Structure 1
Amino acid sequence: MPQDWMKDPLLAGIDPAKMALLNSFVSQGTGKSQNEIVSLLMAAANSSRSRGLQFTPDEMERVIQVLKAGKSPQEIAKMDKMLSLMRMMQR
């Protein structure tokens, strides 16, 4: 994913520490399978909690919109499936 996604106006105002965490996750997830990404995402969620970084629902929605931009319908469907799985795991 190109580095310019972090400059999207939708992400303006999100704490730089949160953005750094997201950038790290995106970098680590490049080229990974869906199962590997779920594992990375769970590790990132645990890491963010331990560092006191929690994304608001609005921040998460904005990040998701940016990450979906320019993706194929198949890629978006995979992302939606992964997000649904994450939501179930958080309950």
Structure 2
Amino acid sequence: METYDWRQDPLLHGMNPQKLTFLTQMLDEAQTKKKEELMPFFLSITAQARAQGMDFTDAETDMILKVLKSRMNPAEVQRIEMVRKLTGMISKKNR
């Protein structure tokens, strides 16, 4: 069985290499977190990205999620959508 490497997905070609590296590290670390630790972790990562002057556009976020969701089961996709909605609400509130 062939292993899927999401980083090689054609949808991600052209993304800033620094952003792709940051994303890779974030996702690798997220896999070590318990379910209840994910929300605080993602909020912390968002703050770290902003502190580094890194901001993912809506198009880049959509692209990343499309790639990731293609390999997730429905429950995981639902959880990602919930996290995205919550972070979107928090982001709008902080603007």
Shared fold by TM > 0.5? yes
SS of equivalent residue, structure 1 residue 52: coil
Structure 1 residues not aligned, in runs of 5+: none
- RMSD over aligned CA atoms reads 1.5
SS of equivalent residue, structure 2 residue 54: coil
| Equivalent residues in 2 for 1:1-91, closer than 5 Å | 4-91=5-92
User: What is the aligned length?
Assistant: 90
Q: % of aligned pairs identical?
A: 27
Q: Tell me the distance in 2 between the aligned counterparts of 1:70 and 1:80.
A: 14
Q: Tell me the distance in 2 between the aligned counterparts of 1:67 and 1:36.
A: 19
Which is greater in Rg? 2
Structure 2 residues not aligned, in runs of 5+: none
- Displacement of 1:46 in angstroms is 0.9
Report if aligned partners of 1:25, 1:40 keep a CA contact under 8 Å in 2.
no
Question: Which has the larger displacement, 59-68 or 25-34?
Answer: 25-34
